[in-house]
Amino acid sequence: MKLSKELKKIILKLFNPSQLHQVYKLQKERKRLKRAKKDAQLKLYSEILTGDYLHYGYFKNPDTIPEDISLNNMERAQHDYACQFLERISDRNSPVLDVGCGMGGLSNMLQKEHLKPVALTPDINQIRYIEKKYPDIELIHGKFEEIDSEKYVNHFGTIITSESLQYLKLDQALAIIDKILKNGGIWLVCDYFRKGRSFEKSGHFWGRFLEKINENRFSIIHEKDITKNILVTLKYVYMWANRLGLPIMNFTFEKFRTKQPGFHYLFKDIVHHLEKLVNDGIEVINPERFENEKKYMFLVIKRKKDMT
């Protein structure tokens, strides 16, 4: 009965001019509402995983079984992922630029190791979060492609793109890196690349990336394929999505269909659309598909002129 009353309210709103006007206003303000959603996501991440990392994690044992993973294991994997960068930083006196710093977890680790992190993000919510939790970390608010390269000429001994390279425009990014990286400095990349056609379109094509860095006089001095190490996280999330997420969704929709057959008929197209969105979202994290279509690489890159 309660559900029926709520659905009637929805129907009445659809035919109420003032309510339709409110719908229009909310749609126009959807960017602001998306910001609010991001705030909620940050809060959720910080409460579930306490390290403030927003990446896949790195499992040293790629044969780890998803059913055996605990939150402690996940946090350890997040920490071990960040440790890869610490092991490769040779210039400990110059600033380290953390491009796409997320919630500041990596920058915080760098600072604890007595390095000088500079955290960059275009997301105002992440800026506010870091300002509050890590007030001593230097921040740059904006896109990497819009950084004041004149101000930071030959400034950074290390530049890190941790799962942020995929969002950058390569030509612009490479030109900026060349300008703001100190002589002898290194660029550390940890991200996934597309091997060819893929279901999910994020990530640069690996072959194209190699061409671009060569054209811009960069060279990879160390590379490690860590696909299997990050796949453990995908397997874990994929397991819970199929064992818990989908069954709950199907149960909810089936209960709606049997309890409210008329309203189910009325909204069946919306229900079908929601089901498709959820299934597509789960398919994005399908570990088998990911491994077939993408590769996750840890790279150490230098300018060719610094290698002579």
Outline where DSSP puts E strands in the chain.
95-99, 116-121, 138-141, 156-162, 181-194, 218-225, 294-303
What is the reported pLDDT for 51? 58
CA-wise closest residue to 294 among 222, 212, 210, 226: 226
3-state secondary structure of 251: helix
What is the reported pLDDT for 38? 47
CA-wise closest residue to 73 among 85, 83, 61: 61
Residues above pLDDT 90, as percent of the chain: 53
CA-wise closest residue to 117 among 99, 90, 141: 99
Average confidence score pLDDT of the chain: 83
CA-wise closest residue to 195 among 297, 281, 126: 297
pLDDT at 211 over 50: yes
Looking at CATH, the fold of the domain delimited by 66-227+294-303 is given as: Rossmann fold (3.40.50)
Q: Tell me how far apart the alpha carbons of residues 88 and 85 are, in angstroms, rounded to a whole number.
A: 5
Instruction: Tell me the pLDDT band of 34, cut-offs 50, 70 and 90.
Output: very low
pLDDT at 39 over 90: no
96 secondary structure, DSSP code: E
Residue at 6: amino acid letter: E
pLDDT at 61 over 90: yes
Low-confidence winner among 82-96, 208-222, 266-280 (lowest mean pLDDT): 266-280
pLDDT at 144 over 90: yes
What is the reported pLDDT for 240? 84
pLDDT at 143 over 80: yes
Tell me the pLDDT tens digit for each residue of 83-130. 999 999 999 999 999 999 988 999 999 999 999 999 999 988 889 999
Long-range CB pairs of 82-86 (<8 Å, 24+ gap) are: 82/51, 82/53, 82/106, 82/109, 82/162, 83/109, 84/58, 84/190, 84/298, 85/110, 85/160, 85/162, 85/188, 85/190, 86/110, 86/113
| 47 vs 94, more confident | 94
Q: Tell me how far apart the alpha carbons of residues 36 and 125 are, in angstroms, rounded to a whole number.
A: 9
Give first-to-last CA distance, the chain, whole Å: 78
Q: Tell me how far apart the alpha carbons of residues 159 and 86 are, in angstroms, rounded to a whole number.
A: 12
For the chain, the structural domain boundaries read: 66-227+294-303
pLDDT at 26 over 80: no
Mean pLDDT of 212-234: 94
pLDDT at 55 over 50: yes
Rg over alpha carbons for the chain, rounded to the nearest Å, is 23
pLDDT at 36 over 50: no
Instruction: Tell me the pLDDT band of 224, cut-offs 50, 70 and 90.
Output: very high
Residue 258 backbone phi and psi in degrees, to 5: -80, -35
What is the reported pLDDT for 109? 94
For residues 242 and 283, is the Cβ–Cβ distance under 8 A? Answer: no
User: 84: exposed, middle or buried (C-beta count within 10 Å: 0-12, 13-18, 19+)?
Assistant: middle
